[in-house]
Structure 1
Amino acid sequence: MRTNLDFTPFYRSSIGFDRMFDLLENASLNADKWPPYNIVKLGEDAYRIVIAVAGFAEDELTITHEANMLVVNGAKSEDEEVQYLHQGLAVRPFARRFELADHVIVEGAKLENGLLVVNLKKEIPEEMKPRRIAIQAEPTKPDSKQIEGDKAA
């Protein structure tokens, strides 16, 4: 069941949430469940996407990394000489989109045993990493001259 939600009223009453609403709208567009895929967290900042692309060769797949978006396309070349008696393998063209967080880069991709494996890593720039700020104590001033009062006798 697919429902199209209109987020226009939320745009009028919220500030700074545009990206979140765009993510929700894109999620409804990605409702196609083919080809199946897994997303695996390998460590604190390492991820892997595994897509089942049985029947596709390397030259029939393209991977594009745009701003905060990973797009995997597959298009099988047409062989008009083949006459199928039964075609049970789903080798139809596809486009699978993955929304990536800020600073996530694609480390590499490989095709093995009908699975497309895409390795991702989150690399936060050094200037954006949290850093500890040292607290400097104010230098102590030498005792100021006493103007009035008892002087120690």
Structure 2
Amino acid sequence: MTIDKWQMTNDISIMQKTNHKLEPQEIASLGASLRAIEQKFLKQRRKEGYKKIWFQGEEPYFDVFFEFEYEKIIWFQFTLRGKTVSWDIRRPELQTGNTNELCTDDVSFYAASKTIETDNQTDWEFIYLVKLILETRAEEEIFTQALALFNK
């Protein structure tokens, strides 16, 4: 695949057009940048055993969400640079898609208005990248549980 100069000046386009290949240092940096958001900022369901956890990376549009029921993941979503991987216990398979976060219309400037369009064909290369990023935090139980979803 050939990349023209315009593509090389746009990091997001580079990632999308070069099959999501990142240098090991960038993968490690992305993983290390994830920080848990305080629980008081998250709307929790009033259901026994339910818990939502949100990690945010230093880079814009880099988030990892978990929903747990009795310490077991029931929903997971990873977003990075306009791409997403998600998993839901009701449909237990990894799904990929695109978000509208990189669009420049007025609606996309509001975080609560993020939409996801599921890919027609699973983006296995992006899934592999997400797995590499999560592996940088494999010593933490929450990320170990997430990684198990990639092996099903």
> Normalization by structure 1: what TM-score?
0.22
Larger RCO (CA within 8 A; separation ≥ 6): 1
Q: Which has the larger radius of gyration?
A: 1
